[in-house]
Amino acid sequence: MSPLRGSGARARVTRLPRRSKVAADSGNRNIFRYLDPSGEGQVSEMEWGVLDSIFKEIRFSIGEFVGFLDRTFDNLDDAWDFLDDDSSGAMDYQEFTDACKSIGFFGPGRPIFSYLDKDDEGTVSLQEFQVVRTFHDEPVPPEKEEQ
């Protein structure tokens, strides 16, 4: 019997998981993966609550990170020149952690980096880095002032 017998054999198409009812938008994708390691594309409502608070925490951390950049550099272009230490046009994780140390930022580096690395390929491009500008534009929470 020929092992090649069976003309009907065809490659099995692996179906992508159905889109979760909780949409994992690009900003949340990396975090989403933490909570959905099996990749079934579903998070329960309870998990979503956890996700949401993690997400807020990461946004807060990035806000802090951007604050550090602000205090250290004149503008974000200068910050980028510093972050992309070897001027390769992208910041890898090593460059990121080195830069964090240099500016004295000891926040949660990995989640911040993962957030910035939107396409998840392991480096943050200048274009991906632009997202920090949105943290700039966020209204600063009003300080509790007398009067």
- Least distance in angstroms from the C-beta of 147 to Ca ion: 46
* SS3 state of residue 90: strand
* Contacting positions for Ca ion (CB under 5 A): 84, 86, 88, 117, 119, 121
Shortest approach of Ca ion to residue 116 CB, angstroms?
8
36 or 95, CB closer to Ca ion? 95
Q: Which two tokens stand for residue 82?
A: 């510093």
Looking at the Cβ atoms of 68 and 114, the one nearer to Ca ion is 114
- Least separation in angstroms between residue 54's CB and Ca ion is 20
The two tokens of residue 21 are 């009812």
Cβ proximity to Ca ion: between 52 and 119 the closer is 119
Burial pattern 65-74, b for ≥16 Cβ within 10 A else e, equals: bbebbeeebe
Both tokens of 127, joined, read 């274009």
